[in-house]
């Protein structure tokens, strides 16, 4: 991951991270501008999880299992044979 300096837009180095929640989805990143001759600023930027593009595999399996549990035995058997139930 690349962080850019807010002052000179040069690349910056992450020197430390401070997680702000137990899930570690939001964190303050302490950074140092690598343009040391003309800038060299140090700053804090925030990293935050936004949303999934694909759900985690465990969620997909759990979702399928929950759906299967709502079916009757006959419906499950029909589904496994590739036939519509009924
Ligand atoms: Zn800079």
Q: What are the tens digits of pLDDT across the range 29-64?
A: 999 999 999 999 999 999 999 999 988 888 888 888
Q: Which residues surround ligand 1, an ion (CB under 5 A)?
A: 5, 7-8, 10, 33, 35, 39, 41
* CA–CA dist 63, 54 (Å, integer): 13
Structure tokens at 61: 């399996």
Is pLDDT of 71 > 70?
A: yes
Average pLDDT, rounded, for the chain: 92
Q: Kindly provide the residue ranges of all beta strands, DSSP E only, lying in the chain, ordered along the sequence.
A: 3-4, 11-19, 26-33, 42-48
Q: What share of the chain is helix, strand, coil (3-state, %, to 5)?
A: 25, 30, 45
| C-alpha 42 to ligand 1 mean position (Å) | 8
Q: What six digits make up the tokens of 62? A: 């759990």
For residues 10-38, average pLDDT: 98
């Amino acid at each position: 991951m690349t962080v850019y300096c807010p002052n000179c837009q040069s690349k910056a180095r992450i020197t430390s991270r401070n997680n702000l929640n137990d899930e570690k989805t939001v964190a303050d990143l302490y950074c140092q501008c690598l343009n040391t001759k003309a800038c060299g600023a140090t700053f804090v930027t925030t990293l935050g999880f936004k949303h999934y593009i694909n759900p985690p595999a465990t969620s997909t399996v759990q979702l399928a299992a929950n759906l299967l549990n709502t079916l009757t035995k006959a419906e499950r058997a029909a589904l496994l044979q590739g036939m519509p139930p009924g």
